[in-house]
Amino acid sequence: SLIGQGGMGAVYLAHDTSLDRKVALKVLRPELARDRDLAERLVREARAQARLSHPNVVGIHYIGTFEGVPYLAMEYVRGQSLDDHLHEVGALPWAVALEYVIQ
C-alpha cells in the first residue's frame, strides 16, 4: 500500500517474503527511471545510507530494479512523517524543534 510520495517517486509498505517482515519500498517514478543520472543518484544515496548505523536513520536492505525501474527495500518504521506531524500540531516551540534537529 502507498505510504507516501514525492517528486522523484513513491514509498510503499510491502512484505519481504524471504525474511517474513514488513519493508518500505522506495520506487523511482517510471518516467524518471529512464534518466540514467537519476537512477544512479538513487543507488549512490542508498549506498551512502547503508553505510550509516544510527537509530534515526532507516536501514537499507536491498537495491534492485523491476522492469527497468530502480527501487530500494528499506526498514519499515511505524509512525508519521514530520510533515504530517506539523500539519497536525502546527508550528513547534523552538526547544522542541531544536531537539528534533539534534536528533
What is the pTM assigned to this prediction? 0.79
DSSP letters, the chain, are -EEEE-SSEEEEEEEETTTTEEEEEEEE-HHHHT-HHHHHHHHHHHHHHHT---TTSPPEEEEEEETTEEEEEEE---S--HHHHHHHH-SPPHHHHHHHHH-
Mean pLDDT by 10 residues, the chain (103 residues): 90 95 94 89 91 90 92 93 89 92 86
